[in-house]
Amino acid sequence: MGRPGRQVVQAVLPRLRTELALDYVVANGENSAGGAGITAKTAAELFAAGVDVITTGDHVWDQRETDKLLAENPRVLRPLNYPPGVPGQGSCLVRREGCVPLAVLNAQGRTFMPGLENPFLVVPPEVDRLRQETPVILVDFHAEATSEKIAFGRLLDGRVSAVIGTHTHVPTADEQIFPGGTAYLTDAGFTGPQESVLGREIAPVIRRFLTQCPQRFEVARDRVMLLGVLIEVDPTTGRALAIRRIAEPLPEGGSVPAESSEGT
């Protein structure tokens, strides 16, 4: 979420990669640019910090340069279930030396969301294709409704290594491994200022609810944390072995400079 989210990733992720012996890191970066969208600059910062693949969601088009970014960097994904002809791709395969390849697939839900193609129909054939390349597949399902997320995870149980939900910015406590071996979490939460309303300054959001008048929602700055999930996967079968949530504060609990909703 904006500069605070990028800053805590830069400060914490290199240490986590070493301490946890991480093979791959996937980050949803759709709010990395001023809290709305993604740019080449913010993507480069995340990659430099140790992120291997960046997923997105319904805010992927909020910055004008997104088309160019998606065309030039195959490790920045947009939801797979956009109609044919839309720039970018919804999945990719990454390889690190000494590791089994990881396939990452990005899809978007439809309940209370923009009307894209049905992910329940579009995603399974792509999963089948990716399984020809690697048994280890991570799905970022960017969706609003918990029921849709759970149903989608159950649909893919035994076919992918993990289905992790994003979009609501609120971490859920339902991490589990389904019977078929798929790790699941309804929402990983957001990385950024937790002293906020979903990453935005508190007072303008309250004024909006009180008055129904437009407000400028700036990215907040305080109690910045990296939120996510750690998944251990059997590299031979692709079955998840363990899943646990991660919550790491910005060192010394620091705040970051103010950033406008239009900034990067």
142 is catalytic: no
User: Would you give the DSSP letter of residue 233?
Assistant: E
Q: Give residues with Cβ within 8 angstroms of 19, minimum separation 6.
A: none
CA distance 26 to 100: 15
Rg (CA), the chain: 18
For residue 248, which of 185, 174, 192, 187 has the smallest C-alpha distance?
A: 192
For residue 136, which of 253, 263, 26 has the smallest C-alpha distance?
A: 26
What is the distance in angstroms between the CA of the first residue and the CA of the last residue of the chain?
10
C-beta separation of 107 from 80 below 8 A: yes
CA distance 104 to 131: 11
Helices and strands (H, E) in the chain, number of each type: 6, 11
For residue 13, which of 162, 245, 226 has the smallest C-alpha distance?
A: 226
* Calculated CA dihedral for residues 181, 236, 21, 241, nearest 10 degrees: 20
Q: Which one from 59, 142, 167, 169 is the annotated catalytic residue?
A: 59
C-beta separation of 10 from 44 below 8 A: no
Q: Which residues are catalytic?
A: 59
